[in-house]
Amino acid sequence: MLTERQLLILKVTVDDYIQSAQPVGSNQLSKKSEIPFSPATIRNEMADLEGLGFLEKTHTSSGRVPSQKGYRYYVDHLLTPKPLPQQDIVQLRSIFEDKITETEEVIKRSAMILSELTNYTAILLGPDVGKHIVKKLSIVPLTADTAVAIIVTDNGHVENRVFTIPEGINSSDIEKMINILNERLVGVPLNDLHLRLEQETMTILRQHVKRYGELFTTLRKAAVLPHEENVYFGGKLNILKQPDFHDIQKIRNLMDVMEGVQHIPLILPVGTQGLHIRIGSENALSAMEDCSVITVSYDIGEEQTGSIAIVGPKRMDYKRIVSMLDILSGDLSKELTRMFRAK
């Protein structure tokens, strides 16, 4: 159990290191107004904190730096979320200032502004596209043998695929088919599209459209939606601004991870509620062992959720980021739900 004084010293040490990126010494600390103890006392306490694993030294006679355990304790017990300065709030709110009507736009913009405001990297995950509901299907012929299939969803998102029209299908076949599809499939969530396509439309199509088989296969392919598309990045390069990352090799590994879509679920676990902080090696990816990631979820309506992640050095300004994400996740939930309800 830590004493009051140890808590104070731990907190101030972490705060100072977060701010300065330099190991913190006892003299330095003793000069602060919050700390009314002599350097010697501070040294004793720091030695204890080091013994307990909260602080560590970069070398025998250096100042101290928070250990992973130190950050963790700080985040769990010492984080006093300071209110965000008005200016930051204004900038955050500017995301919504000109009436944007597309969810996607709002999220893109959030990623951008968040990264500018934090100087870290922001990753935003939009709501699961699979839950969006088909509003309209159409097929526009382009040439004799190609056409583009278009799916419009309830939130205004438009998916499209160009495909080759199988031999022996004429335009009246296509017209018939698209009518049938619209009758049967409007109102279905994209996730179920695949299934419902088979269940409900196959029999009818067979009756009305010649060569329905090939046309059907083509359509099925078009219905498989890319899932990567609703990940948005802001400030990928901000990592280069952090003094903590001086090793080009590490930067490369980190960026490689962020480029690779397959890693996103590991950085930003979907489906978790609320705010989470992962520090250093708590992250799933070894390339991120020098990073901290703060994630938070937001809701659209009752069913859909998205998430936000901020990736920065372990020496991240937790206080500030937590406050920001608190506000932003609230705002996003409110605004996007409003936009969604309107539909």
CA proximity to 156, closest of 102, 229, 218, 214: 102
Q: How far, in whole angstroms, is CA 231 from its chain's centroid?
A: 7
Q: Is 67 in the site for DNA (CB under 7 A)?
A: no
CA dist., res. 237 & res. 255, Å (int): 9
* Least Å from the CB of residue 135 to its own copies: 6
By CB under 8 A, is residue 270 in contact with its own copies? no
CA distances, 325 to each of 294, 295, 308 (Å): 9, 8, 8
Per rule CB under 8 A, is residue 135 in the interface with its own copies? Answer: yes
Q: Which amino acid is at 307?
A: S
The contacts of residue 270 (CB under 8 Å, 6+ apart) are 125, 128, 307
Minimum Å gap between C-beta 113 and its own copies is 15
Per-residue DSSP letter, 196: H
User: How many CB atoms are located within 10 Å of the residue 298 CB?
Assistant: 25
Cα 100 to Cα 282: distance, rounded to the nearest angstrom: 37
Which of DNA, its own copies, none lies near 251, with the C-beta cut-off 5 to 8 A by kind? its own copies
Residue 119 interacting with DNA (CB under 7 A): no
The answer to whether the CB of 147 falls within 8 A of the CB of 174 is yes
β-partners of residue 133 are: 189
**Between 6 and 138, CB nearer to its own copies:** 138
Question: Of residues 10, 15, 25, 73, which one binds DNA by CB under 7 A?
Answer: 25
244 lies in the site for DNA, by CB under 7 A: no
Residue 90 interacting partner from DNA, its own copies, none (CB closer than 5 to 8 Å by kind): none
Judged by CB under 8 A, the number of residues near its own copies is 36
Counting contacts by CB under 7 A, is residue 269 touching DNA?
A: no
* Interface residue with its own copies, options 60, 143, 172, 262 (CB under 8 A): 143
Distance CA 251, CA 239 (A): 8
Binding site for its own copies (CB under 8 A): 99, 101-102, 135-136, 138, 140, 142-146, 148, 150, 152, 154-156, 158, 160, 162-164, 236-237, 240-241, 246, 248, 251-252, 255-256, 259, 342-343
Positions that interact with DNA (CB under 7 A): 5, 23, 25-28, 36-41, 43-44, 46-47, 50, 57-64
